[in-house]
Amino acid sequence: MNLNIAVIPGDGIGPEVIDQTVGVLGKIGDVYHHEFKFNRVLAGGNAIDAVGVPLPEDTVEICKNSDGVLLGAIGGPKWDSLSGEKRPERAILGLRKALGLFGNIRPAILYKELIDACPLKAEIIEGGIDICVVRELTGGIYFGERGRRNTEMGEEAHDIEAYSVGEVKRIAKTAFEIAMKRNKKVTSVDKANVLESSRLWRSVVEDVAKDYPEVELNHMYVDNAAMQLVRNPRQFDVVLTNNIFGDILSDEASMITGSIGMLPSASLGEGNIGMYEPIHGSAPDIAGMDYANPIATILSAAMMLRYSFNLVDEADAIEEAVSKVLKGNYRTRDIMSEGMTLVGTKEMGKLIIERIGNIKS
């Protein structure tokens, strides 16, 4: 298979973790007989420095004409003084809009080897955690009508939460399709006891569920879901929710795994194209020091193989290689503990590449 991948190294540690990920994909190509063509493009702070805008038009065009987009990290304090439209983070929003990416997929996986890094009690997380949060990305209160007005109590501000049937249906379908590839369980999170938008959300999700009789569906209010994530996270498989609830719950889920340096994410649309990136930031304070953990970006590439290219065996190979390296007691600084072997960004990438060859053979 020949595939074109747009690569956005970005800022801070982005280029370092991207380099290791490209190496891992190159190894996958050699072992499984695929040809990956990598097109590196500018976006974020580096694009501002080079051409004056966070998202150049040629970057958008290359991404649109690619089979998948791999992103390192964007932003940093260097550009904090810029106005909103000129900030590096606008590149991510621009790409989501240009590519029609409406769903954010964020796995929260706690590997057995990293249980000591989890802040929860051992009996709660015994056996590890594997949750996938599916968040609607382009609707809801973040994109609804907003404004200010004068009232008897002074100035008042409002932001409107609104969802259409079509918006809910497409993200619900995404969640059920993912559940079919996992443990066939969807927990839809809403606030239907209070919000009309949540009542619509719930009814549409139930309609979509009829097309997936193998998948168990249950509903949970968002306040209970937030509590259950720390009380009994192993009860969850796929968590489906709207934009604002997903923003909060996905961050909560990521924290119980112990390190954001381990967690990938994907933004998906109607077709196969998606944008894949680690959830961590650009960490400019450690850029160029060979400290960064590349595993989140490498696992993001595994998600790209799985969801955009339908290369399940290849995605499994990357994930298994990561697991084998962790079982071998190799750690970067963010997940280091007593008795482990400390390695840098480049060495971690090399170790994972070596394990991919061993898996296939």
Select which of 11, 27, 67, 191 is catalytic. 191
Q: Residue 282: which residues within 8 A CB-CB, separation 6 or more?
A: 10, 11, 12, 13, 14, 45, 72, 73, 74, 75, 76
Residue 6 lies in a domain: yes
Is 111 a catalytic site residue?
no
Question: Please, which residues have CB within 8 angstroms of residue 298's CB and are 6 or more apart in sequence?
Answer: 17, 20, 21, 24, 318, 322, 349, 352
In a domain, 347, yes or no: yes
Measure the CA angle with vertex 143, ends 137 and 237; round to 5°: 25
In a domain, 315, yes or no: yes
Q: What is the pTM of this model?
A: 0.89
- Residue 260's pLDDT is 78
Residue 23 lies in a domain: yes
19 flagged as catalytic = no
- Position 83 scores a pLDDT of 82
- Which residue is it, tokens 């997929």? 105
Residue 87, amino acid: R
The answer to whether residue 281 sits within a structural domain is no
Residue tagged active-site, from 251, 346, 350, 360: 251
Q: 170 lies in a domain?
A: no
Q: 103-110 and 264-268: which strand pairing? A: antiparallel
Check residue 360 and give its pLDDT: 52
> Do 176 and 215 contact (CB within 8 A), yes or no?
yes
Q: Could you confirm whether 37 is annotated as catalytic?
A: no
Q: How far apart are CA 352 and CA 321, in angstroms?
A: 5
Task: Tell me whether residue 361 is exposed, middle or buried, using C-beta atoms within 10 angstroms of its C-beta: 0 to 12, 13 to 18, 19 or more.
Answer: exposed
What does the alpha-carbon distance between residue 142 and residue 355 come to, in Å, rounded to a whole number? Answer: 42
Q: How far apart are CA 202 and CA 182, in angstroms?
A: 22
Number of domains in the chain: 1
Active site residue 191: yes
On whether residue 208 sits in a domain, the answer given is: no
Residue 223 placed within a domain: no
Residue 280, phi then psi, degrees to nearest 5: -75, 165
Domain that holds residue 26: 1-100+305-361
Look up the CATH number of the domain holding residue 81.
3.40.718.10
Cα dihedral across residues 58, 60, 66, 69: positive or negative: positive
> Beta strands 238-241 and 216-221: pairing type?
unpaired
Percent above pLDDT 90 for the chain: 84
Which residue of the set 159, 211, 223, 285 is catalytic?
A: 223
Q: Is residue 116 annotated as part of the catalytic site, yes or no?
A: no
Q: What secondary structure letter does DSSP report for 120?
A: S
**Below-70 pLDDT ranges, the chain:** 358-361
Torsion of CA 208, 212, 216, 219, to 10 degrees: 0
Integer Cα distance of 16 and 142 in angstroms: 32
Cα separation, 321 vs 359, in Å, equals 7
Contact present, 188 and 219 (Cβ < 8 Å)? yes
Out of 64, 130, 142, 184, the active site residue is 142
